[in-house]
């Protein structure tokens, strides 16, 4: 399947993630996952272009609908159980998503409510536009498997040459996307916004303070294997957090993990604490 310029451009310019801007909790990842194969990218961007180009709120989409249009190209032992990404994450035999599970634990700790049955919550509710509990956002739009590889250096499309270099791509898109996210924070006033897995902490903080001049960040240091280090600012009724940590083990190493429910409880109690 060929990646087409028009669909890719529409995705880059308009795709911000899943859920609803009206959600209580916004979880901002560094970038969209996936993208190891051009077919995977093409199916995502073609769906988004076909179903969201004329929509009033064209920046976020229904993750279940998009995943239902992306073939699961996986050779694992249970691959025959799944035809699409929807089957894999939301179907009858759904596989738990570790990051979503930890974000749900974090969210429910802030809500001060008992944790739901996670796999049921993942299948039916997580990032649902109708539920308006979570918006799952992406600082950068192109699907990428990890920070160690860049699969777009081979792509020759007129007007999109900048995506061949990951550095150039991020430099061009960052101010535009941060402006949009921060403007929407001011408009929609979510209860909490968590930027996780970020490598550009100083740049992010400067962008926030430029948009919210009264914002002051406080650093909360990590508690090993318990609570990650994070930066916090209160923005006109919205709690904004930034951390380098991802809600999952890095390279399956247990010493890189944290208790995200405990993290949520700590954030809930940090109104006057400073370190």
> What does the alpha-carbon distance between residue 44 and residue 34 come to, in Å, rounded to a whole number?
10
Position 256 pLDDT exceeds 80: no
Position 271 pLDDT exceeds 80: no
Is residue 68 in a domain?
A: no
pLDDT band at 148 (very low <50, low <70, confident <90, very high): low
Number of domains in the chain: 1
Is residue 111 in a domain?
A: yes
Give residue 35's pLDDT: 82
Position 7 pLDDT exceeds 80: yes
Is residue 150 in a domain?
A: no
List, as one string, the DSSP characters of 179-194. HHHHHHHHHH--SEEE
> What does the alpha-carbon distance between residue 104 and residue 274 come to, in Å, rounded to a whole number?
25
Radius of gyration of the chain (CA): 18
Q: Counting every residue, how long is the chain?
A: 275
Tens-place pLDDT, residues 103-127? 999 999 999 999 999 999 999 999 9
Is residue 253 in a domain?
A: yes
Say if residues 59 and 14 touch (Cβ distance below 8 Å).
yes
Give residue 273's pLDDT: 40
Position 1 pLDDT exceeds 70: no
Is residue 19 in a domain?
A: no
Q: Which of 42, 45, 61, 29 is nearest to 177 (CA)?
A: 29
Is residue 117 in a domain?
A: yes
Is residue 234 in a domain?
A: yes
> What does the alpha-carbon distance between residue 130 and residue 274 come to, in Å, rounded to a whole number?
37
Return the higher-pLDDT residue of 140 and 151. 140
Task: Indicate left, alpha or beta for 35 from its phi (over 0: left) and psi (-120 to 50: alpha).
Answer: left
Q: Between the CA of residue 232 and those of 22, 78, 98, 194, 238, what are the distances in Å?
A: 21, 41, 24, 9, 11
**Model pTM?**
0.94
Position 255 pLDDT exceeds 90: no
Is residue 176 in a domain?
A: no
Tens-place pLDDT, residues 36-68? 889 999 999 999 999 885 555 569 999 999 999
Enumerate residues 6+ apart whose C-beta is below 8 A from 173. Answer: 12, 140, 141
Say if residues 220 and 191 touch (Cβ distance below 8 Å).
no
Q: Which domain holds residue 209?
A: 97-127+191-270
Give residue 53's pLDDT: 59
């Amino acid at each position: 399947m060929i990646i087409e310029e028009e669909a890719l451009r529409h995705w880059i310019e308009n795709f911000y993630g899943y859920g609803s801007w009206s959600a209580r909790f916004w979880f901002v990842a560094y970038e969209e996952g996936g993208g190891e194969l051009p077919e995977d990218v093409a199916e995502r961007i073609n769906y988004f272009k076909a179903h969201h180009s004329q929509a009033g709120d064209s920046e976020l989409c229904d993750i279940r609908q998009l995943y239902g249009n992306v073939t699961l190209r996986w050779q694992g032992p249970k691959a025959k159980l799944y035809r699409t990404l929807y089957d894999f994450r939301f179907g009858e035999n759904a596989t738990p998503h570790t990051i979503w599970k930890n974000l749900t634990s974090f969210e429910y700790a802030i809500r001060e409510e008992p944790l739901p049955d996670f796999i049921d919550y993942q299948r039916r509710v997580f990032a649902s536009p109708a539920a308006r509990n979570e918006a799952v956002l992406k600082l950068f739009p192109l699907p990428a498997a990890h920070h160690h590889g860049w699969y777009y250096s081979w792509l020759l499309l007129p007007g999109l040459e900048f995506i061949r270099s990951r550095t150039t791509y991020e430099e061009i898109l960052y101010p535009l996307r941060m402006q949009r996210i921060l403007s929407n924070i001011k408009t929609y006033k979510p209860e909490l916004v968590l930027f996780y897995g970020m490598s550009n902490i100083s740049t992010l903080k400067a962008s926030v303070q430029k948009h919210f001049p009264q914002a002051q960040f406080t650093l909360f240091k990590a508690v090993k294997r318990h609570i990650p280090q994070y930066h916090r600012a209160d923005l006109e009724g919205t709690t904004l957090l930034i951390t380098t940590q991802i809600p999952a083990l890095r390279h399956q190493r247990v010493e890189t993990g944290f208790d995200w429910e405990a993290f949520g409880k700590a954030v809930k109690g940090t109104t006057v604490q400073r370190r």
